Amino acid sequence: MSSRLHRFLGASIFVAGLALGGPVEAQEAPTGPASEGASQSPVISLTSIEQMLGADMAKVAQIARNTWSTVLIGDQKNPVVTVGTVAGGIVLLGLAYLAASMISRWLAAKLLSRFGLSKSGVAPLQSLTFYMLLALFTMVSLNVLHVPLTVFSFFGGALAIGAGFGSQNIVNNFISGLILLVERPIRVGDVIELDGMTGTVAAIGARSTKIATGVNHEIIVPNSKLLETSVVNWTLSDDIVACNVDVGVAYGSPTREVERLLLQAARQHAHVLKEPASDVILADFGADSLQFKLRVWVNLRATRRVQVESDLRFAIDELFNGRGIVMAYPQRDVHLNVMRPVEVRLAEPQRQTKAA
């Protein structure tokens, strides 16, 4: 980590030197005693470049250096922003982004290993650290390039107008992302349900949140939607949730035996928790069956609720078949009550004769 930071600082100093360097002066190399003092000057003469690179390369270097020193904001006496300043700023901002990303990831890894924090607890700290470091490195880059903040006063006003019109959704999603990171109603690793879809929060970004479903699909949801709509967070305060399995058996079945078999199926499952204990409820006397409900408790961090419910249905079907208990299905009995016998006639099909 320290070597990467050293390389970052070295590259920053190099680019800053290029951005701050003065133009090449087309002057003759000084002779005599003053040549010793001139040799210490950072200004490189055009004659020296011609001697080292040749006349053609020296002209190319002169054109490149003049372009580098072209003033964009200010004047020749007091240049504020030059082409070299813009190029150096782009390089420094890129290095700042890489440095902020590496430092925030390093800090998150240290917190995970040393303090034993969960990934959902470290993720918002990593994101906030990245944003703060990026802002800090941006200010340092502007300071190194001697760019005053007053230059951005006009751009700040234009940005404010753009944020109020064209960039309203982007700013809204960004602020919503900060609210999600600070208040943490939804965290990385939480199992949530949104618009009938259930998935695990994979990442919370500056503009959107990534949700991974159980069928290897990733859903990109704008951050503002997570705050404006109703979201079911199954793991907000606790990872333990209930699973319900509805079972209908035929009338005349031994109800206590049905209860025992349902509890046995729950005890045999490896992911069903012993505490809270599973229970069976005779929910209703339905039109076609006795309605039982098996309720078990599982840890969503360790398994999937849908998979546990499916396993329980397989186990219940096997146990019921072994005990001769029939699962009811819809059926109807039709009774005919008439006062006299029903008259039945058999009619021969009519034959069609061809016209003569």
Query: 25: pLDDT confidence band, cut at 50, 70 and 90?
Result: very low
Cα separation of 141 and 87, whole Å? 12
Q: Which of 20-24, 33-37, 179-183, 225-229 has the highest mean pLDDT?
A: 225-229
Mean pLDDT of 233-248: 89
**pLDDT higher than 90, residue 244:** yes
Query: The tokens of 43 are what?
Result: 């200004």
Q: pLDDT for 186-211, tens place per residue?
A: 888 888 998 888 888 988 887 889 99
- Of all helices (H) and strands (E), which one includes residue 96? helix 83-115
Mean pLDDT of 243-256: 92
Query: The tokens of 310 are what?
Result: 């499916």
Mean of all residue pLDDT scores within the chain? 76
Cis, peptide link before residue 276, omega less than 30° from 0: yes
Higher pLDDT, 136 or 170: 136
Nearest partner of 86 among 100, 99, 73, judged by Cα: 73
At 80 the pLDDT is 62
**pLDDT higher than 60, residue 133:** yes
At 124 the pLDDT is 72
Percent of the chain with pLDDT over 70: 66
Q: What is the DSSP letter of 29?
A: P
At 12 the pLDDT is 52
Q: Is the pTM of this model over 0.75?
A: no
Looking at residue 162, its amino acid is G
Cα separation of 144 and 319, whole Å? 76
Cα separation of 98 and 4, whole Å? 10
* Residue 183, SS3 per DSSP: helix
Residue recorded with tokens 């340092």: 140
Query: 139: pLDDT confidence band, cut at 50, 70 and 90?
Result: confident
Nearest partner of 4 among 91, 104, 99, judged by Cα: 99
What's the Rg (C-alpha) of the chain? 38
At 351 the pLDDT is 61
Query: 19: pLDDT confidence band, cut at 50, 70 and 90?
Result: very low
At 197 the pLDDT is 86
At 300 the pLDDT is 86
Identify the weakest region by mean pLDDT among 6-20, 285-299, 323-337.
6-20
Mean pLDDT of 296-306: 89
At 129 the pLDDT is 82
Mean pLDDT of 18-34: 45
Mean pLDDT of 330-351: 71
Query: 328: pLDDT confidence band, cut at 50, 70 and 90?
Result: confident
**pLDDT higher than 90, residue 269:** yes
Between the CA of residue 41 and those of 14, 20, 21, 65, 331, what are the distances in Å? 18, 15, 12, 17, 103
At 117 the pLDDT is 65
Cα separation of 56 and 58, whole Å? 5
